Homo-oligomer: A and B are copies of this chain.
């Protein structure tokens, strides 16, 4: 591939002049500029970003790390980030960790070697995280997304997870629900899940109700009815379920319906994230909406500001409760269906 020097030669100018035709064209006499550009065209010259990056010590690449792409909440955020980044002339190096801390470390190290200009991370656990501690000592701007760390060491962008889940819980309480449960993915892997559970507890206590223990699912995005079964039948059966994310809620609804439950008549279901899909389903999913696109955009813009040297901020974006047909008042007379012998059986 042709380089700047060959372009310069063909145009009969020095390498510096050829370079300027691209970086500061206004400095050149228009005739010179024309000759250079013409030469570049004839040689199919294409500036080498790698060389530029080495020389300028800036890659204009942002490293992005998310737990997974299986959950649309991340995909929707990435979509917004990619657009915002490209608009500012930056590219995204995107990676997934599967909530694995050792993978997080590995990937961050690789990104630092690649000399990314900044990092946007969604980690499993923002508090007491080795990777973040290490990054604190580095000079690379770094921003957390969705994570809401207790200590203020790393700037972050998220909603107020506790208040958000408290709001959702209060909504159910106001409808008359009393036996409200909450389910989460592998909870040890997610600081957000814990905050959301705290919000639930807080709201329950505010209504003088004892919070129930968190029901933990083996996977982040699939419910497992077997785990839930003890809470679905009998006089103490739950009339409403809060889920730490929408995928969990959606799969739960499907499973419940297959097990004979009617939603919301027999049981109400609330999600968290507000992914677009939820509103399309029937019944539509009631969910705490995180402004995913706004979060993604804010993340990129904040990080770019940090790269320019501005001081980092910790942003709390506001959440909203999206109403949906998956929630209704508890129906006292509604008889829970008999537990089948294998309620989670599937094709």
Contact = CB atoms under 8 A, between A and B. Distances in A.
Interface stretch (A41-49, A149-157, A210-218): A41-49
A107 B83 CA distance: 12
A129 interface: no
B49 A114 contact: yes
A107 B86 CA distance: 9
A257 interface: yes
Contact of A86 (B95, B257, B284, B347): B95
A6 interface: no
- The oligomer's copy count stands at 2
A94 interface: yes
Interface in A268-287: 276-277, 279-282, 284
Nearest to A323: B347
B49 A113 contact: yes
Contact of A69 (B76, B93, B251, B277): B76
19 contacts: A46-B109, A46-B112, A46-B113, A47-B113, A48-B54, A50-B50, A50-B115, A68-B79, A69-B69, A70-B75, A91-B93, A92-B93, A93-B93, A247-B277, A250-B277, A253-B282, A254-B281, A255-B282, A279-B346
A59 interface: yes
Most chain B CB within a 10 A radius of its CB, from A49, A255, A279: A49
Query: Is chain A's interface secondary structure helix, strand, loop, or mixed overall?
Result: helix
Interface string A231-255: 0000000000000000100110111
Contacts of A49: 113-115
A144 to B, nearest CB: 20
Interface of A: 46-51, 53-54, 59, 61, 68-70, 72, 75-76, 78-79, 82-83, 86, 91-96, 107, 109-110, 112-115, 222, 247, 250-251, 253-255, 257-258, 276-277, 279-282, 284, 323, 346-347
A250 B277 CA distance: 9
A54 B46 contact: no
Nearest to A83: B96
Contacts of A48: 54, 113, 115
Contacts of A280: 222, 250-251, 254-255
A109 B50 CA distance: 14
Contacts of A347: 284, 323
Nearest to A223: B280
B110 A91 contact: yes
A98 B54 CA distance: 32
Contacts of A115: 48-50
A249 to B, nearest CB: 11
Given A54-B50, A91-B110, A276-B70, A281 B284 contact: no
Contacts of A94: 78, 82, 92, 94
A96 B293 CA distance: 15
Given A50-B50, A281-B250, A79 B69 contact: yes
Given A82-B96, A92-B95, A94-B94, 8 more contacts: A47-B113, A48-B113, A50-B50, A50-B59, A69-B82, A91-B110, A254-B281, A258-B282
